[in-house]
Copies of this chain bind each other. A is one copy, B any other.
Amino acid sequence: MTLQIDRRRFLKASTLMGAAALVSNELLSFPIKKSTLQIGIIGVGLRGSGHLENLIRRKDIRIPAICDIDPERIKIAQNALQKANHTKANVYADGDYAYRNLLARDDLDGVIISTPWKWHFPMAIDAMQAKLPPGLEVGGAQTIQECWDLVQTHESTQTPMMLLENVCYRRDIMAVLNMVRLGLFGEVIHCRCGYQHDLRNIKFYPGVSFGSEGKHEAVWRTQHAIERNGDIYPTHGLGPVAMMLNINRGNRLTALTSMASKARGLHEYVVEHGGEDHSYANIPFKLGDVITTTLQCAQGESIVITHDTQLPRPYSLGFRVQGTKGLWMVDGNQIYIEGISSEPHQWEQAQPYLDKYDHPLWKKYSQMSEGAGHGGMDFYVLNAYVEALKRKAPFPIDVYDAAVWRVITPLSEKSIAEGGSLQSIPDFTEGRWEKRTPDFAGGDIY
CA A322 to CA B311, docked complex, whole Å: 9
Question: A313: which of B260, B327, B419 is its contact (CB, 8 Å)?
Answer: B327
A356 at the interface (CB under 8 A from B): no
Contact: B296 with A419, CB < 8 Å? yes
The secondary structure that dominates the A interface is loop
Q: Pick out which of these stretches binds chain B: A45-53, A176-184, A206-214, A262-270.
A: A262-270
Contact: B324 with A268, CB < 8 Å? yes
A421 at the interface (CB under 8 A from B): yes
Contact: A302 with B419, CB < 8 Å? no
Q: Which residues of B lie under 8 Å from residue A289 when comparing CB positions?
A: 189-190, 324
Contact: A189 with B332, CB < 8 Å? no
Q: Which residues of B lie under 8 Å from residue A256 when comparing CB positions?
A: 420
Query: What's the nearest-Cβ distance from chain B to residue A187, in Å?
Result: 6
Contact: B294 with A292, CB < 8 Å? yes
Assembly stoichiometry (copies): 2
A299 at the interface (CB under 8 A from B): yes
Question: A255: which of B288, B296, B420 is its contact (CB, 8 Å)?
Answer: B420
Contact: B422 with A315, CB < 8 Å? no
Question: A331: which of B186, B262, B326, B334 is its contact (CB, 8 Å)?
Answer: B334
Query: What's the nearest-Cβ distance from chain B to residue A264, in Å?
Result: 5
CA A260 to CA B304, docked complex, whole Å: 11
Q: Which residues of B lie under 8 Å from residue A260 when comparing CB positions?
A: 302
Contact: B314 with A347, CB < 8 Å? yes
Question: A259: which of B288, B296, B323, B329 is its contact (CB, 8 Å)?
Answer: B296
Question: A262: which of B255, B301, B421 is its contact (CB, 8 Å)?
Answer: B301
Interface set, chain A 292-318, CB cutoff 8 A to B: 292, 294-296, 299-302, 304, 308, 311-315
Q: A259-B302, A289-B324 are in contact. List 4 more A-B contacts (CB 8 A).
A: A189-B262, A292-B304, A311-B324, A421-B422
List 11 contacting pairs A-B, 8 Å CB cutoff, sorted by A: A186-B264, A189-B289, A190-B261, A257-B257, A257-B420, A259-B296, A264-B324, A312-B325, A329-B331, A421-B421, A421-B422
> What 8 A-B pairs come out closest when comparing CB atoms?
A262-B300, A332-B332, A312-B338, A190-B290, A257-B257, A261-B302, A259-B294, A420-B422
